[in-house]
């Protein structure tokens, strides 16, 4: 939005309390801030995966015992992008080829994945939204997510002040509130990763987890990543 000159300069005092990586300053002095993150990781059915079997790394999913028991989104570009950023393209593609060889089932949509794992159709979901796993668990599904895998892509939801806002002062107050401790509680109650460090949430990350933001740079190459992922996994559907 900054590049398109759609925002006006505004620096909320609450920005000082937001994680540094979640704040972006545009060329005209306009700021955007991530007010929450949606982590993408592994989720598993607690009735089908014993405590001593829980994957500690992505490589653990290559164990033959999980053959045909994992499910993944058929357009998993965020996780692929994060792996390429951290591991390099060659290693990331080699990994997904091994996942395909271990008969991971491809389905459309992370919400669908989460419900299938919760219903016991599959033991492990590859690339689930942490907040959806937490929500289904609250509804009684035997689900939990793994908060310690690296890398962990995160969808960052950003907010800024629109340059033609009809009520800019009200918008400024809303941004201040959204980034405040009270505003952050709205998202943490729904299992989101807060942008404000120290906010209580069920989506607590283990120490040392490397968050890889899904940003506009990734969005610009989404179609190429999508085709690369689908070709690697043998998916015939085009796009999302």
Task: Delimit the domains of the chain by residue range.
Answer: 38-152+209-233
pLDDT at residue 115, rounded to an integer = 96
Q: Which residues contact 145 (CB under 8 A, 6 or more apart)?
A: 41, 42, 43, 44, 128, 130, 133, 134
Predicted confidence (pLDDT) per residue in 21-51, tens digit: 667 776 666 667 776 677 889 999 999 999 9
What would the CATH number be for the domain defined by 38-152+209-233?
Answer: 3.40.190.10
**What local confidence, expressed as pLDDT, does residue 32 receive?**
73
Give CA–CA dist 22/24, Å, rounded: 7
Tokens of 199: 């906010």
Percent of the chain with pLDDT strictly greater than 70 = 86
Phi, psi of 201, rounded to the nearest 5 degrees? -155, 155
- Average pLDDT rounded to a whole number, residues 116-141: 94
Residue 215's pLDDT band, with cuts at 50, 70 and 90, is low
Average pLDDT over residues 161-176: 91
Residue 127's pLDDT band (cuts 50, 70, 90): very high
């Amino acid at each position: 939005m900054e590049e398109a000159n759609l925002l006006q300069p505004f620096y909320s005092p609450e920005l000082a309390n937001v994680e540094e990586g979640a704040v972006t300053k545009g060329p005209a002095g306009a700021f955007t801030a991530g007010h929450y993150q949606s982590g993408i990781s592994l989720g598993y059915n607690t009735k089908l995966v014993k405590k001593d079997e829980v994957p500690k790394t992505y490589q653990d999913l290559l164990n033959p015992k999980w053959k045909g028991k994992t499910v993944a989104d058929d357009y998993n570009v965020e996780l692929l992008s994060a792996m390429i950023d951290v591991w390099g393209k060659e290693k990331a593609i080699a990994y997904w080829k091994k996942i395909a060889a271990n008969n991971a089932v491809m389905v459309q949509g992370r919400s669908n994945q989460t419900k299938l794992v919760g219903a016991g159709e599959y033991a492990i979901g590859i690339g689930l939204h942490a907040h959806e796993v937490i929500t289904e668990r609250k509804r009684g599904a035997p689900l939990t997510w793994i908060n310690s895998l690296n890398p962990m892509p995160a969808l960052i939801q950003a907010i800024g002040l629109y340059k033609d806002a009809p009520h800019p002062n009200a918008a400024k107050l809303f941004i201040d509130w959204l980034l405040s401790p009270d505003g952050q509680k709205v998202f943490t109650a729904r299992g989101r990763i807060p942008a404000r460090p120290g906010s209580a949430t069920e989506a607590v990350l283990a120490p040392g987890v490397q968050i890889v933001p899904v940003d506009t740079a990734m969005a610009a190459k989404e179609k190429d990543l999508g085709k690369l992922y689908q070709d690697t996994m043998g998916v015939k559907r085009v796009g999302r």
